[in-house]
Amino acid sequence: MRRHGLAWLLLFVVLPAFAAAPDAKQGTALIASAERGNVADIQKLLDAGAPVNVRDARGRNAVLAATQRGHTEAARLLIARGADVNAQDDIRDSAFLLAGARGHTEIVRATLAAGANLKSTNRYGGTALIPACHYGHVETVRVLLGSAIDVNHVNNLGWTALLEAVILGDGGARHAEIIKLLIAHGANVNLPDAQGVTPLAHAEQRGQRAISEMLRAAGAREKAPPRKPGAAL
């Protein structure tokens, strides 16, 4: 009787647990289809029950895989079906953070609409806004600044979005426009880097005349104002 009881227990408890487990093959196929941007296959797999947020060996879910390849429609479909836009992989990329860094503006819009975590940070401690400014993605920056993202967030290098646009930008029209947008949205033009060097001083060192003039007009100084003891940067 005890053996029969154990058998029934296996049937009613253990086996249903196996049946309810996510289909690993479907998940693998979903991520592969997302990498290819194959919307039709993604739709079929999701309709067949593929888990939308399954991860691969690198910690990526399907929407991150689609974002890495710039497949906007695939990313939109996955987001509409419940993909986690904040899920970070082994190197701390998420669909939201990577879309900002790569300048995939429409994916950024979709992730924001899906509840992107504006405080999430990449492996450098930066928000989505900071690399968008670095790489000169004007429209992406414009969209991000339309959210409640922190324009003065400081990353692990001690740089804000403004500092990164000056230090790593090329001083051209795109970065000038980004700096104009940052100033208009409340960027602190006198917040220095970890070594105490201000955005204006960096711009002067790099011969970025137009940007220097813009910063001066916004009240920027070459030397950081003295800080009170114990005050944060």
Is the pLDDT at 7 greater than 90? The verdict is no
Instruction: Name which residue leads in pLDDT, 34 or 25.
Output: 34
The pLDDT of residue 224 is: 76
pTM of the entire predicted model? 0.87
Instruction: Name which residue leads in pLDDT, 189 or 17.
Output: 189
Domains of the chain: 24-117 (1.25.40.20), 121-224 (1.25.40.20)
Counting other chains too, the contacts that 200-205 makes at CB distance below 8 Å and 24 or more residues apart are 202/163, 202/166, 202/167, 203/166, 203/171
Instruction: Name which residue leads in pLDDT, 52 or 9.
Output: 52
32-60: per-residue pLDDT in tens? 999 999 999 999 999 999 999 999 999 99
The pLDDT of residue 157 is: 96
Burial of residue 211 (number of CB atoms within 10 Å: 0-12, 13-18, 19+):
buried
Is the pLDDT at 145 greater than 60? The verdict is yes
Nearest-CA neighbor of 144 among 157, 159, 128, 156?
128
Percent of the chain at pLDDT > 70 equals: 86
186-216: per-residue pLDDT in tens? 999 999 999 999 999 999 999 999 999 999 9
What's the rounded mean pLDDT across residues 100-124? 98
Is the pLDDT at 169 greater than 70? The verdict is yes
Per-residue pLDDT band for 230 (boundaries 50, 70, 90) equals low
Is the pLDDT at 113 greater than 90? The verdict is yes
Per-residue buried b or exposed e for 85-106, using 16+ beta carbons within 10 Å of the residue's own CB: bebbbeeebbbbbbbbbbbbbb
The pLDDT of residue 25 is: 85
Is the pLDDT at 155 greater than 50? The verdict is yes
Instruction: Name which residue leads in pLDDT, 61 or 2.
Output: 61
Is the pLDDT at 227 greater than 80? The verdict is no
